[in-house]
Structure 1
Amino acid sequence: MLKKWILLNFRKKRQLLSPFSSSIFSKPSVSAAKLSSDEPTISFDSVDQTPADPVPEIIANLRNLGFKKFIDGDDSKNLILRLSEFQVDRIIDCLRVESLDLAVTFFDWLKIHCGFKHSLFASFVIAHVLAAKRSFKELRLVLEQILQEQGSGSAPSLCELLLHSFRGFESNREVWDMLAFVYSRTGMVHDAVFVIAKMKELDLKVSIQTYNSLLYNLRHTDIMWDLYDDIKVSETPRNVYTNSIVIDGLCQQSRLQDAILFLQETAGKEFGPSVVSLNAILSRYCKLGFAEVAKGLFCLMLKYGLHPDAFSYNILIHGLCISGSMEEALEFTNDMGRHGVEPDAITYSILAKGFHLLSQISGAWKVIQKLLIKGSDPDIVTYTVLICGYCQIGNVEEGLKLREVMLSQGFKLNVIAYSVLLSSMCKSGRIDEALGLLYEMEAVGLKPDLVTYSILIRGLCKQDKVHKAIQLYNEMCSKRISPNSFAHGAILLGLCEKEMITEARMYFYSLIMSNCIQDVVLYNIMIDGYVKLGNIGEAVQLYRQLIEKRISPSIVTFNSLIYGFCKNGKVADARRLLDTIKLHGLEPSAVTYTTFMNAYCEEGNIQRLLALLQEMETKAIGPTHVTYTVVIKGLCKQWKLQEAVQLLEDMYVIGVTPDQITYNTIIRSFCKCKDLRKAFQLLNQMWLHNLEPTSATYNILIDGLCVNGDLKNADCLLVSLQEHNISLTKVAYTTIIKAHCAKGDVHKAMTFFCQMVEKGFEISIRDYSSVINRLCKRCLITVAKSFFCMMLSNGFPPDQEICEVMLIAFHQGGDLGSVFELAAVMIKSGLLPDKFLIN
């Protein structure tokens, strides 16, 4: 069956099946020779030696002087650099007979220090040397390099080379086996199967590690069984992982009855059921909602003498939580301790989510009451779960009350409970109290871990307390707690969000110099920071740097760069990045498309925007609520408001929930076209869908009423919002004040201005200037003067512009006394009213 499968998969690659067609045999080296079953294996001894040939001299010197002394010689390096690929092949082949270590050293030196690209023959010679030395890690690296260059479909040509040029080599079986293993690990399954088939023809034994790797790759298919039968027929000793992979494969294929039968068949044998195998079945049953069956399997685990681990318990507890059996979930959590398994952060998180999912945080107290009735006291597990639950729904106060109850009853909080409280307090902006909890932890003898410090560092950065975050970071390092990318990322994010990009760059380079950057995450933060400041040039430079360091970019990297180009109006440059994304084996995400759509929306290119939406649907990339908001914004710009409303309704049908920004976009457009009835209908629709309008929503409606001259309803709306204690921004007040000033309703303007001051909004001279200007234009000089006096009494010194407006108004009204009085105030404030005094 396997042989048939190989033929089917390689039939379309007939050219690859012939070693003569592969480009690797066109090079002028031993590995480039035409190889066929008729031709003898090439021997270097048969090659004519000429007096000018440097190979014998180099080999003799390496043998007599040793590698280091020979390389340090004056002309040695130049001599070696003049060698052809064919001559290098000969040297390496001769050295592997005399000294395995010397062959490897010479091979690596040429590759690393001279940038020499070795032939396939030389690479396979070294592969055999490393196999003979039992250096399997290095052997794997050499073969991975070969496969990276040769790619998928290269198995036939590489097998042909091994067959004809290396058959008599020592450790040839290990090289064949590792080749199949590396093909499998790199995802080239067809090639791995081809190599294994060749090994069977040559009677070369395949290791169980290679079989297991291939079995894992094929576990989603029926071919898994054929391969498993091959393992049994070959009498290759199976290990615990073999059966676990088969069971996992059956679970992945939802063949749970087959998985249990297989489990029973292997029970009692050398490598029978394992905890890993049973965990796989447990997980699948729980995901399908069969928590009761999972409980039975859990008991079966104990029957087979297996000890459930934390993962086993967490699977079952999660299944019980999902099915609503919270009391049983807690009982199993308590059972963990009795079997020597400590609940971990995942356990508490699962339980907290279970209560939250069922909206039963208050109901958790009923569970405690049941425990009390049974004569059991709530333990540390129960209290920790409740703290996690309350914090998860944002009720940190209840979590802190529980902490007090625990302390009063003599319980000592664990690190998990403290970390959850710290996280919740940081999210609610109570960072100083959170720091107090950190010191409390240390006072009671608990050692804060990396997670604890990372939570606080991120919290401090979000509150712009970056310097304090760095102090805490240094404190963490002084306690020999090694920071990870999350802690570094928190500080970098904080610096970038405060627009301290120079400091962020210095910190970033310090991490590079200390080799703390191993992945793309920190690069993404810096690139995004530059992009948001509009510095796309620096962002591109960082992108090039990570490519040079061979750090694989993620889709987040490209999304930031695309946003930067689009923000700078370089949509064509952004489009070119789509090809680069595909070259890196990535796919554009919903964010990628949404960014482009927003750029086209700004350009007014609604056709291109809708075409991208269609492309997303074709590629099965689900648009987000942000994507639809951008489309709605584009439709509103084209005044296609009915289509925008229809799309809003369609979002609910397809299960995408609009947010306040989506509604605000449409409401603003209806206000602009003076259809306030429809705008308020949309406001009502928000309430019907339990979507709380934001202050921006109310600002838009108040502004719409004012612009349309309906000040009566604008006043009513503002007063109603005040009565219902709905939070308003300063914009709502300034909008309605300006409208009343423009209409000449001084009393209302004064009333709302005073309310704005009473609400504690920060009042600036611009606010006074705006009102005074409007009053002067309406020739309401007396009221303007009252505002001016109010401004002075509240400690705002006048500026040149506002004084000139008042002077002109007094002058035109013939109030010369006020002119000279104001002129005196100006002179006292260092302002120059000369031109008015002359008049």
Structure 2
Amino acid sequence: MLHKWKPFSFLAKPHICCPLSSLTFFKPSVSVARLLEEEPPLSHSPKDPVFEILSGLKKLGFRRFLSGDYFGSVVFSLDQLQVDKIIIFLRVESPDFAVVFFDLMRNEYRFRHSRFSRFVVAHVLAGQRRLDELRFVLEQMLKEEGSGSAPSLCEHLLNGFRDWDKNSLVWDMLAFVYSRFEMVHDALYVLAKMKDLKLHASILTYNSLLYNLRHTGIMWDVYNEIKASGTTQSKQTNSIVIDGLCRQSKLQDAVSFLRETEATRLGPSIVSLNTIMSRYCKLGFTDVAKSFFCMMLKYGLLPDAYSYNILIHGLCIAGSIEEALEFTSDMKKHGVEPDIVTYNILTKGFRLLGQMDGAWIVIQRMLDKGLNPDVVTYTILICGHCQNGNVKEGLKLREEMLSRGLQLSVLSYSFLLSSLCKIGQVHEALVLFYEMEEQGLEPDHVTYSILIHGLCKQGEVQSALLLYKEMCSKSIPPSSLSSGAILLSLCENGMISEARMYFNSLIMNEWAHDIVLYNIMIDGYVRQGNLGEALELYKIITEKGITPTTVTFNSLIYGFCKNRNLAEARRLLETIRLHGLVPTAVTYTTLMNAYCEDGNMRCMLELLREMHAKGIRPTRVTYTVIIKGLCKQQKLQEAIRLLEDMRYMGLNPDQVTYNTIIQCFCKARNIKMAFKLLNEIWLNGLEPTPVTYNILIYGLCVHDQEICDVLFNACQQCGDLTSVYEMLAWTIKSGLLPQK
């Protein structure tokens, strides 16, 4: 139970430790006498447990009495007030026994001590410089008190223990423990109270607080307080400040601070230089990092393996693998042996370059040094082989890891799953996924997303949905990738109703804040010809304050074009700009195609000029649309010239482009030019499609009744259009077709 306890500002300083046998209970010391004045006097009746315990301790000795029957019978009935009285008596007469009794009650009987007892014992431990035990007592107290308890505890210390010996050390340790527990505001409160009391915090406490605040601007306030208080700084102080400035992306300030420390007695530390080197390497400035490496040598600081690893890693990330290897050799020359981290960095460097042969050479060197690959090594190798499309080698490494009793990481499994899904082996990926769970690894949203996307690509939407439900049941929020894959697959398979139901479930669970999901659903409705539902979703987007993208408007423009509502489609082009977005080539091409279909070549060409004016590069599809428009106007030679323009701009025409223009020449009965364009298809490394052959067959039939009869007979005999296409291709290539 908790009892209110009156302040003990009147308690005397602890006496010198003396044997328990010297306790005189009927002539108490001054501090004890005052304690008794505040509380009802101790009864000399055997019924008073405090009196009996203290008497028993005197007569029988400490350990003998505490292991006896009487203490065992009353210990569980003791309350905090009674235990406080026992501890305060013991603290005066025998401080060591006060600590032992405190520990016994806490550890053996799970007794929850009052704040008073904890602070009494804390002062005893501070007086004996038993700092680890002092910290432990305060840690146990703060675990129970929690965040925001500093004002109350400081008030207790201030009123009850102000004049106690080693009081400043208890205050300092309290601030330190608050800081270690990352209760920063509490630690700052304690320091502020210490300043009012003219108590000095140790550099250990200041450093701990600096470390917790190193990512904030308050770090400088604490550092200035250290300087103002006259507390002697340590090299660790400067290292923390430099680390903090680097974390706050104030690299120049960190360098300036380092320069300031050069002139001090401390000088720059290897930790500070490593921190600055690491930051420059992360920013890609490895040459600058190397200059700080030279500074180490200038100050007589010997670079350690960590220093070398920072530079080697920076060089590998920059792609300078040869220089990284040179630094590894330099490392050996200076008596610093490369460790497993060094070899892993080099392996990763070769992996980033896609040079897995080089990675294996590094592994061999590592093995020659007697170092065995660890989980990181295997993860790098598995990821490298999977990225190179060699999932088979990745699976071999997995087998090797399992045989060595090493557990694969979630990252390794994710790469293997992704590689298997890419080559269509989704069911093999699922087997690996369940193996991962059997190994005690928890799949994350990335793992699930890979499998869900893989299943959707295979058209196994129902299996993907089951996996999705499993993920949600584990309270793993779905990612845009997994939700988008399912939604897209449902829409592509024409299951628009099911897609909407799934989409609604995402909204209900507040997982559909991503515009990508809305875009998929809007596009799905548009492709199904349901522009009304698409516009309803667009309305929901605006009401929820979700920012639409150009993709959103592109789908709506396509919908209006499909409905032949070109005026509304054109208005949306202006709406894109009002939202601060930039129309894309897809936007313009969609509108141009609609104008082309409508026979409005003037508006189509206007949009083309607008594209050029705004610096939007036409795509292959854009040119195909323009060619189609020119062909409709019988401007076949201009269409041919546009093919040349496409090649000039690095946009090689594809089969669709060629089919468009070949069809126009066939309709114009210019079979010779149609054949010439077909020949260009082969010359450009393309294969004609069935559509190409159908266009040519139609043209040939119109061109010559004799050829029409030959092809008709061929179709009847073969019964297979593919064979007819092959025969036609051979005839055209051989030049055997009649020329008229």
Question: What's the TM-score, normalizing by structure 2?
Answer: 0.60
1:331 partner amino acid: S
Render the CA deviation track for 1:724-749: whole Å, top value 9, x for unaligned: 65433332223322332233221111
Gaps of 5+ in 2: 1-72, 78-101, 116-135, 161-169, 329-341, 728-736
Q: What aligned pairs does 1:386-401 form with structure 2 within 5 A after superposition?
A: none
Deviation of the 1:286 alpha carbon: 2.3
8 A Cα contact 2:214 2:240, kept in partner: no
Pair 803,738 (structure 1): closer, same or farther in 2 beyond 3 Å: same
> Does residue 308 of structure 1 match 2:237?
no
Partner residue of 1:756? 681
Q: What aligned pairs does 1:152-551 form with structure 2 within 5 A after superposition?
A: 177-181=142-146, 192-193=147-148, 195-197=149-151, 208=175, 211-212=178-179, 225-226=188-189, 228-230=191-193, 240=204, 243=207, 245-246=209-210, 249=213, 252-253=216-217, 258=221, 261-262=224-225, 264-265=227-228, 268=232, 273=237, 275-284=239-248, 286=250, 293=256, 296=259, 299=262, 303=266, 306-308=269-271, 312-314=275-277, 317=280, 328-332=288-292, 335=295, 339-341=302-304, 342=306, 380-381=323-324, 416=345, 419-425=348-354, 434-442=355-363, 457=382, 461=386, 465-475=390-400, 482-549=407-474
Determine the C-alpha separation between the residues in 1 that align with 2:267 and 2:221.
Answer: 18
8 A Cα contact 2:385 2:394, kept in partner: yes
1:751 is paired with a residue whose SS is helix
Determine the C-alpha separation between the residues in 1 that align with 2:422 and 2:472.
Answer: 25
Give the alignment partner of residue 574 of structure 1, picking from 486, 503, 507: 503
Pair 771,565 (structure 1): closer, same or farther in 2 beyond 3 Å: closer
Deviation of the 1:537 alpha carbon: 3.4
Gaps of 5+ in 1: 1-93, 99-127, 137-158, 164-170, 182-191, 356-360, 365-377, 386-412, 426-433, 808-817, 819-839
Partner residue of 1:739? 664
Give the alignment partner of residue 643 of structure 1, picking from 567, 571, 584: 571
8 A Cα contact 1:740 1:748, kept in partner: yes
Q: Which moved more, 1:197-206 or 1:604-613?
A: 197-206
Q: What aligned pairs does 1:95-134 form with structure 2 within 5 A after superposition?
A: 132=106
> Does residue 768 of structure 1 match 2:693?
yes
Q: Using the aligned pairs only, state the percent identity.
A: 19
8 A Cα contact 2:277 2:310, kept in partner: yes
Deviation of the 1:753 alpha carbon: 0.7
1:273 is paired with a residue whose SS is helix
8 A Cα contact 1:562 1:574, kept in partner: yes
Determine the C-alpha separation between the residues in 2 that align with 1:533 and 1:515.
Answer: 28
Pair 294,210 (structure 1): closer, same or farther in 2 beyond 3 Å: closer
Pair 286,202 (structure 1): closer, same or farther in 2 beyond 3 Å: closer
8 A Cα contact 2:226 2:233, kept in partner: no
Pair 343,597 (structure 1): closer, same or farther in 2 beyond 3 Å: farther
Render the CA deviation track for 1:606-637: whole Å, top value 9, x for unaligned: 54344344356x4xx66555556556555655
Determine the C-alpha separation between the residues in 1 that align with 2:700 and 2:264.
Answer: 84
8 A Cα contact 2:214 2:244, kept in partner: no
Determine the C-alpha separation between the residues in 1 that align with 2:177 and 2:490.
Answer: 47
1:484 partner amino acid: S
8 A Cα contact 2:385 2:391, kept in partner: yes
8 A Cα contact 1:536 1:564, kept in partner: yes
CA RMSD after TM alignment: 5.6
2:678 partner amino acid: F
1:750 partner amino acid: F
Partner residue of 1:722? 647
Render the CA deviation track for 1:663-696: whole Å, top value 9, x for unaligned: 5545544544445566566666667777665444
Pair 699,384 (structure 1): closer, same or farther in 2 beyond 3 Å: farther
1:775 partner amino acid: L
Render the CA deviation track for 1:11-42: whole Å, top value 9, x for unaligned: xxxxxxxxxxxxxxxxxxxxxxxxxxxxxxxx
8 A Cα contact 1:598 1:630, kept in partner: yes
Pair 213,784 (structure 1): closer, same or farther in 2 beyond 3 Å: farther
Determine the C-alpha separation between the residues in 1 that align with 2:303 and 2:384.
Answer: 35
1:732 is paired with a residue whose SS is helix
1:577 partner amino acid: L
Determine the C-alpha separation between the residues in 2 that align with 1:509 and 1:606.
Answer: 39
Partner residue of 1:608? 536
Between structure 1 and structure 2, the one with the greater Rg is 2
Render the CA deviation track for 1:497-543: whole Å, top value 9, x for unaligned: 33332222122112112223353331232233334445443334324
8 A Cα contact 2:601 2:629, kept in partner: yes
Pair 763,555 (structure 1): closer, same or farther in 2 beyond 3 Å: closer
8 A Cα contact 2:138 2:177, kept in partner: no
8 A Cα contact 1:216 1:245, kept in partner: no
8 A Cα contact 1:215 1:227, kept in partner: no
Pair 179,532 (structure 1): closer, same or farther in 2 beyond 3 Å: farther
1:727 partner amino acid: N
Determine the C-alpha separation between the residues in 2 that align with 1:742 and 1:581.
Answer: 56
8 A Cα contact 2:351 2:381, kept in partner: yes
2:269 is paired with a residue whose SS is coil
Pair 647,577 (structure 1): closer, same or farther in 2 beyond 3 Å: same
| Equivalenced residues, count | 567
